[in-house]
Structure formats: C-alpha cells, structure tokens
C-alpha cells in the first residue's frame, strides 16, 4: 500500500528530492524522483531526518473489524436479549410495546419519567430485556443493509381477527433471513371475531409450526389493549433468550449500533446508541458511522444521567461532531487521536462513496436519455 513518491515525501520533509535519493542510495536503493515509496521506506527515511511519522490512516483501514479485539472466553457474561416487534399494519405493535413498558417500567422504577429514546429496557424476574422501539421492519431493512444486526429475538404480532397479512409475511421473511428466532404474539384475543387457530394454520405455510402441533415455534395469545398475556410473552422471551445463550464482554471497547439520531438546537448531535459489546463510558473517544467525538453526556431510557452503559443497554449520547444515521455502527477507541484519525478517514471515505454513487446515477440517467 504505497502512499508517496520520492518528490512528494521530499516536499513534506522540506528537503530536496536529491537528498532523499542520496539517502536511499546509501541504503542500497536506486530511486528516481517519481518512484513510489512503501510505508517502510518512508518510515526509514523519516527516521534518518529525525522526523517522527504519524501514519495517516488509509481508507482501507477504516473498517471497525480491524480494531475490534477478539473477546477472551472467560470475560463473557450473560447479556439481556434485544427484542424487535414486527407485524402487519394495525395489528397492535405499538399497543404491545406500550403495554410491556407500562407493565414494568412505571411500576418498578418510581420517579423515572420514560422518555422516547427509541428503545427501552425492562426487568422481569431480575433479568433484563431490551426492546427496540423502531418499526421492526426498519430495524431489519435499513440496519441490516448497513451490516448491523441488532435483534436477538423477533416478536411477530398477528391480529387474531385479521390473520396473516402481506406485511406479516414480509416481517417473518426478514427475521428468517437474519436467522433470528421468532415468537408469534397472537394479539386482539379480546375480540369476538378472534380466531387464533386460523393464525396458527396460516403460519404453518411459512414453517412456523406451533409446539402443540409438533413444531418449534412459540405462540402466545394475548390482548395488548387489555394487558392480558403480557407476562406470558415476557416469560417466553426469557426462555428463548436462555436457549440463545446471549453473551458479551463488558470489559471490551464499547461497540454497537445507532438506533436513531437527530440534531438538537441546544445539545447538538443527539444519538441513541445500543451498546452491543463492551461498556460505554462518559468521556470515551468514539467513532460513530462517519463521525466521531467524545461522549459528553449519557442518558438512559428513563431520562436519567448515567456514567456507564454495559452490553444490550440503549443510551442517548451527546458529544458527536455530526449527526450519524440509524444503523451506523460505533466503536470506542482508547486514544482520542486515533478516534479522530479514523473518524476523519471514514468521513472522507463516505464522501467519496457518495460522490461515486452520484456519478453512477448521472451516468445511468445519461444512458437512459440516449
């Protein structure tokens, strides 16, 4: 991965190219002014001139994969399941999310004012569960298209009076593609026209066979409106979570995904992050998508200021230079300089990608006109 020619390096060092060539010759390398130098050669020459090289982060080195360290097995601990609710329009997704939150958060956390940060966490039997408050469909499409997999368990809401509808099928296909276990919540059981058997029957066509019928899919009948069956559903989520053996390393550099983000007049860039591994701390140097910064303040789903957030915790942070996009991934760096370098390189890369994307579009348009 060569970066500079002899004369480019010379001008950076405020030297004459001939001086560089002389040094190279001294090292046994014959070079011309336009010769490309590799990283090692650049470093060697710089040291000859007593200049310390600050290696620029090249664009290929901006993938977080390169900086995420493998977790030590012994550091892994159980983490809360991250659950997304999906289903057809009007089948009761929002009502169910609200019913779950009301049943647990307000009762257990006196004084806490729930605020909308795109995700919330509840406690059942001393175990936490994280619910994503984004439309399930979006959580899968936009986030997965960015390579982010945030969901551990999908709740497929099907209204008992309506049965399987087009978006039900779409939703279950998303969950299947992501290989996420599905729990079917048969909702609106309070309605006279409710027909849960039909829902089960219809879903067998999509290989979601209830346990009672010899299959492996968990079905829970409930009424989100009347808060009935909510506890059963939560028990089932814990059961599936246990089978999945969800683990994370709280000691790792925090890594995760942006759930939502916006520009606030007073606070600047405000982003809801879901910590997926490690522990996020106030003051951390962080790269988020193609922006970066330092975590200035951190607020949990109850609107309380917190100093650190472990795996599967949703938090709202401020301190980023720009507003990232939902589905962007983030990673904490120990060194602020490194965070800045990688953040800037990722920004540059995203600008380049956008530019080439635009060029492509305009070329396509051109061809269409011909």
Q: Which stretches of the chain bind ligand GTP, using CB under 6 A?
A: 87, 89-95, 187-188, 190-191, 223-225
CB 283 within 8 A of CB 294: yes
CB 289 within 8 A of CB 346: yes
Instruction: Please choose which of ligand GTP, Mg ion, none residue 346 contacts, taking the beta carbon within 5 to 8 angstroms, the exact cut-off set by kind.
Output: none
Judged by CB, which is closer to ligand GTP: 125, or 192?
A: 192
Q: Which stretch binds Mg ion (CB under 5 A): 40-48, 68-76, 93-101, 346-354?
A: 93-101
Instruction: Please choose which of ligand GTP, Mg ion, none residue 95 contacts, taking the beta carbon within 5 to 8 angstroms, the exact cut-off set by kind.
Output: ligand GTP
Burial class (CB in 10 A: 0-12, 13-18, 19+), 365: exposed
Instruction: Please choose which of Mg ion, ligand GTP, none residue 187 contacts, taking the beta carbon within 5 to 8 angstroms, the exact cut-off set by kind.
Output: ligand GTP
The sign one gets for the Cα dihedral 273, 274, 276, 279 is: positive
Q: Is 190 annotated as a binding residue?
A: yes
Q: Is 92 annotated as a binding residue?
A: yes
The sign one gets for the Cα dihedral 218, 212, 171, 65 is: positive
Distance CA 55, CA 3 (A): 10
Judged by CB, which is closer to Mg ion: 94, or 325?
A: 94
CB 272 within 8 A of CB 243: no
Q: Is 134 annotated as a binding residue?
A: yes
The minimum distance between CB 252 and ligand GTP, in angstroms, equals 35
Distance CA 239, CA 244 (A): 9
Site string for Mg ion, 51-90 (x = CB under 5 A): ----------------------------------------
The sign one gets for the Cα dihedral 307, 310, 316, 318 is: positive
Judged by CB, which is closer to ligand GTP: 44, or 225?
A: 225
Q: Is 90 annotated as a binding residue?
A: yes
Instruction: Please choose which of ligand GTP, Mg ion, none residue 341 contacts, taking the beta carbon within 5 to 8 angstroms, the exact cut-off set by kind.
Output: none
Rg (CA), the chain: 26
Query: Would you count residue 94 as binding Mg ion (CB under 5 A)?
Result: yes
Reading the block at residue 209, the tokens are 């066979």
Helices (H), the chain: 6-12, 17-26, 39-48, 93-101, 107-108, 136-145, 166-177, 196-204, 230-244, 336-369
The closest alpha carbon to 59, from 360, 347, 355, 357, belongs to 347
Q: Is 136 annotated as a binding residue?
A: yes
Distance CA 105, CA 113 (A): 9
| Long-range contacts at 362-370 (CB < 8 A, ≥ 24 apart) | none
Q: Which stretch binds Mg ion (CB under 5 A): 75-83, 94-102, 333-341, 359-367?
A: 94-102
The minimum distance between CB 89 and ligand GTP, in angstroms, equals 4
Instruction: Please choose which of Mg ion, ligand GTP, none residue 357 contacts, taking the beta carbon within 5 to 8 angstroms, the exact cut-off set by kind.
Output: none
Query: Would you count residue 201 as binding Mg ion (CB under 5 A)?
Result: no
Judged by CB, which is closer to Mg ion: 93, or 188?
A: 93
Q: How many residues does the chain have?
A: 370
Nearest to Mg ion by Cβ — which residue?
A: 94
Judged by CB, which is closer to Mg ion: 79, or 93?
A: 93
The minimum distance between CB 152 and ligand GTP, in angstroms, equals 21
Quickly count: other Cβ atoms within 10 Å of residue 110's Cβ.
6
Q: Is 251 annotated as a binding residue?
A: no
Judged by CB, which is closer to ligand GTP: 62, or 223?
A: 223
The minimum distance between CB 97 and ligand GTP, in angstroms, equals 8
Residue recorded with tokens 């999908």: 154
Residues found near Mg ion in the complex (CB under 5 A):
93-94
Binding residues for GTP: 87-94, 133-137, 187-190
């Amino acid at each position: 991965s060569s970066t500079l020619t002899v004369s480019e390096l010379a001008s950076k060092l405020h030297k004459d190219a001939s001086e560089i060539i002389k040094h190279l010759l001294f090292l046994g390398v014959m070079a011309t002014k336009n010769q490309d130098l590799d990283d090692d050669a650049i470093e060697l020459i710089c040291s000859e001139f007593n200049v310390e090289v600050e290696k620029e982060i090249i664009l290929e080195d901006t993938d977080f994969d390169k900086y995420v360290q493998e977790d030590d097995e012994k550091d892994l601990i159980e983490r809360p399941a991250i659950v997304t609710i999906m289903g057809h329009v009007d089948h009761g997704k929002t009502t169910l999310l609200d019913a779950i939150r009301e049943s647990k958060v307000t009762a257990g956390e006196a004084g806490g004012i729930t605020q909308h940060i795109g995700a919330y966490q509840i406690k059942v039997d001393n175990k936490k569960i994280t619910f994503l408050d984004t439309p399930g469909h979006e959580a899968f499409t936009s986030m997965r298209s960015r390579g982010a997999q945030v969901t551990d368990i999908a709740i497929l809401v099907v209204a008992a009076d309506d049965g399987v509808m087009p978006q039900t099928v779409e939703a279950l296909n998303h969950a299947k593609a992501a290989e996420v276990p599905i729990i079917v919540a048969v909702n609106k059981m309070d309605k006279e026209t409710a027909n849960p058997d039909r829902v089960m029957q219809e879903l067998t066509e999509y290989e979601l066979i209830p346990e009672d019928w010899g299959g492996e899919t968990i079905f829970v009948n409930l009424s989100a409106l009347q808060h009935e069956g909510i506890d059963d559903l939560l028990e089932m989520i814990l059961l599936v979570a246990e089978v999945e053996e969800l683990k994370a390393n709280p000691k790792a550099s925090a890594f995760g995904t942006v759930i939502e983000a916006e520009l606030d007049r007073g606070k600047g860039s405000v982003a809801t992050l879901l910590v997926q591994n490690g522990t996020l701390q106030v003051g951390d140097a962080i790269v988020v998508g193609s922006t970066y910064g330092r975590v200035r303040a951190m607020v949990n789903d109850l609107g309380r200021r917190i100093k650190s957030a472990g795996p599967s915790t949703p938090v709202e942070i401020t301190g980023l230079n720009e507003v990232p996009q939902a589905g962007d991934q983030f990673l904490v760096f120990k060194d602020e300089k490194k965070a800045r370098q990688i953040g800037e390189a990722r920004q540059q890369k995203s600008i380049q990608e956008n530019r080439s994307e635009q060029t492509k579009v305009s070329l396509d348009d051109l061809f269409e006109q011909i």
